[in-house]
Amino acid sequence: MDMLASLLHITPAVLWMVLKVVIVFGGVMSLAAIFTWVERRGSAMIQDRIGPNRAALFGKIRIIGLAQILADGIKMFFKEDLVPTDSNRNLFWLAPFLAFVPALLGFAVIPFGKSFSSGGATYHLSVLDPGNGMGMLYPLAIGGMAVYGVLVAAWSSNNKWSILGGMRASAAMVSYEIGMSLAVVSIFMTTGGYDPSEIISSQGGTFLGVLPNWNIFHQPLGFIVFFTCMFAETNRLPFDFAEGESEIVAGFNTEFGSMKFSLMALAEYSHMMTASALIATLYFGGWQVPFVQNPPVLLSVACFVLKLLFFAWVFVWIRWTLPRFRYDQLMALGWKRMLPLAMVNLVFHAWRMSQGH
Amino acid sequence: MFITFALITLLGAIGMLLQKNVIVAGLCMVVAFFGVAGLFVLLANPVAAALQIIVYTGAIMVLVLFVIMMLNSHEEEKAQASHPVQKWVSLALVVAAAIGAVNLVVASPGLKALGIKGAEMPQAMTLQKVGTLLFADHVLGFEVAGLLLLAAMIGAVALTKRNL
């Protein structure tokens, strides 16, 4: 590390930062791209079809259809880029970025492996080092920004289906944010800290001797609330009111074509990755390996990635298993079920803590 | 860094005032909020920055834009009769407020502490410290604010649901 840094005439800290940014954002973006393919293959599997398996590199190398991602990308780049005549042009251009950037940024604070020290310096495996003062507030803040992508896309296309999709989605996202925050607050409370690294290190060891000491076993109710809210936040089925293609054409991205549409789709999948990482960090011990006291760094990274991929797959799985909710059902679920459940969870854990547990 | 965030805040605020389109004005305000959040980070208060983004940009501005879109008013309406007096009064008020703010900053003890070498550097704010401050030092203010918000909430429900 030090040698490479001196070769490039930068300090090791800067090199490490650059490496982390490249690894994290490159990793999340490529995972998101791969998941567009996983989604299609997964839906095919669930619906007893075959799915895209024809695309091949140079017409020969087929690798179970993975070349489909590349083919889709190239196709999207070369499509005609249409902008509706009565749209607000500047905002129409801005919308895909407003959707994409927050989806990626949320990942910055999540540790994807155990910190290690080498040559007298400690290296943390998260873009923002622990103790930055923002902690888990940061993904919550950035998650709140995701609404703007949907809202701006919907409004700028000047299309009644778009605006319907945008309004429904933004109302849903804002309502589910409250339940989500309350679920996260009870984690802060029991952990006694709000930094993701503190939350993860508090989840080491075992619970009752047989289970890993993960928050899901301490707060199953909080997990249910957070998990449900994550579906609403990422706009995935059963809560995909932004799109709702059987009701309002394609909702907020009806008018988006070519690479703009592609960015919107990638934003959805990146958001899914961030959401899976949050679920893994908050409720499933992050990089903690079950029943292993001090896991090696590489094992911890592998464990985190495995958890992330599992939850990303759960997102796909649920999308192709459950039908879409009705809008009023979604609102009733958010305000009359999830919010009270989150409050019960919070008060219960506050009471337990006051009893000295 | 300070100049960058200050410029972002100012440009956002000016853009909001000059924009005729209400939605774009709202988005400019979001930019200004982001600049303010950046300034909070520079002031070693990342908690305030996060809360600024969560509360103002994540919730309040979304609801404001939501209502604007619902009412579907794209352009700002012209005032029926413009009074030049209003312009002068507002300008005078702004100047007075600016002078007052600058005076406050110049007279603040923090600025004097900057001149002393070896003075204690302020510690970064954490959520734990905010909690202790709220519930130990400012518990009365906290409770009053809570009561006020509760009253406002009940008032809003009573206004919208006349026949419960």
Per-residue confidence (pLDDT) for residue A194, from 0 to 100: 84
Residue A43: inside a domain:
no
Query: Where do the domains of chain B lie?
Result: 1-76, 126-164
- Tell if the CB–CB gap between B66 and A167 is shorter than 8 Å: yes
B68 reaches A (C-beta below 8 A): no
Indicate the pLDDT class of residue B144, thresholds 50, 70 and 90.
Answer: very high
Whether A167 sits inside 8 A of B70 (CB atoms) is yes
Q: Which two tokens stand for residue A189?
A: 């409370």
Q: What is the pLDDT of residue B77?
A: 64
Please tell me the distance from the alpha carbon of residue A306 to that of residue A303, in angstroms, as a whole number.
Answer: 5
The pLDDT assigned to B18 comes to 86
Tell me the count of A-B CB pairs closer than 8 A. 78
Mean pLDDT of chain A: 83
Q: pTM here?
A: 0.84
Q: What is the mean pLDDT of chain B?
A: 83
List the single residue in B49, B63, B70 with the smallest CB-CB distance to A174. B63
Looking at the complex, does the CB of residue B57 fall below 8 Å from at least one CB of chain A?
A: yes
Percent of chain A with pLDDT over 90: 4
**Which is higher by pLDDT, A185 or A122?**
A185
pLDDT at B151 over 90: yes
A185: closest chain B residue by CA: B127
Closest CA to A112 of A230, A27, A13: A27
- pLDDT at residue A116 in the model: 79
For domain B1-76, the question of CATH label 1.20.120.1200 is answered with yes
Sheet strands (E) in chain B = none
The reply to whether A212 falls in a domain is yes
Put simply, the answer to whether A147 touches B58 (Cβ < 8 Å) is yes
| Mean pLDDT of the region A340-350 | 90
Type of residue at B43: L
Burial class of A160 by CB neighbour count within 10 A (0 to 12, 13 to 18, 19+): exposed
Q: For chain A, what is the domain count?
A: 1
Q: How far apart are CA B164 and CA B158, in angstroms?
A: 8
Instruction: Identify which of A93-97, B43-47, B150-154 has the greatest average pLDDT.
Output: B150-154
Q: Is residue A39 part of a domain?
A: no
Q: Is the pLDDT of residue A170 over 70?
A: yes
Which residues from chain B sit within 8 angstroms of residue A132, using beta carbons?
A: 46
In this prediction, residue B150 carries a pLDDT of: 95
Q: How far apart are CA B35 and CA B40, in angstroms?
A: 9
Interface membership of B59 toward A (CB under 8 Å):
yes
Share of chain B above pLDDT 90, in %: 16
A12-16, A42-46, A245-249: lowest mean pLDDT where? A245-249
The reported pLDDT for the residue numbered B98 is 92
Contact A143 B58 (CB under 8 A): yes
**Higher-pLDDT residue of A288, A1:** A288
A203 residue type, one letter: Q
A151 closest CB neighbour out of B24, B44, B65:
B65
Q: Which of residues 3-42 of A touch B (CB under 8 A)?
A: none
Strand partners, A57: A61
A57 in helix, strand or coil?
strand
Contacts of A335 in chain B (CB under 8 A): none
pLDDT tens for each residue of A283-313: 888 888 887 777 788 888 888 899 999 999 9
pLDDT of residue A48 exceeding 70, the answer is yes
Tell me, what's the pLDDT at B122?
66
Q: What is the pLDDT of residues B83-122, one digit of tens each?
A: 778 888 888 999 999 999 999 888 877 777 766 766 666 6
Burial (CB < 10 A; 0-12, 13-18, 19+), residue B153, is exposed
Is A300 touching B (CB cutoff 8 A)?
Answer: no
How far from chain centre, in Å, is Cα A171? Answer: 19
Determine the structural domain holding residue A149 and report its residue range.
Answer: 83-354
Sign (positive or negative) of CA dihedral B4, B9, B15, B17: negative
For A183-236, what is each residue's pLDDT tens digit?
998 888 888 888 888 888 888 777 777 778 888 888 888 899 999 988 888 888
Does residue A67 fall inside a structural domain?
no
Q: Is residue A59 in a domain?
A: no
pLDDT for res B80: 67
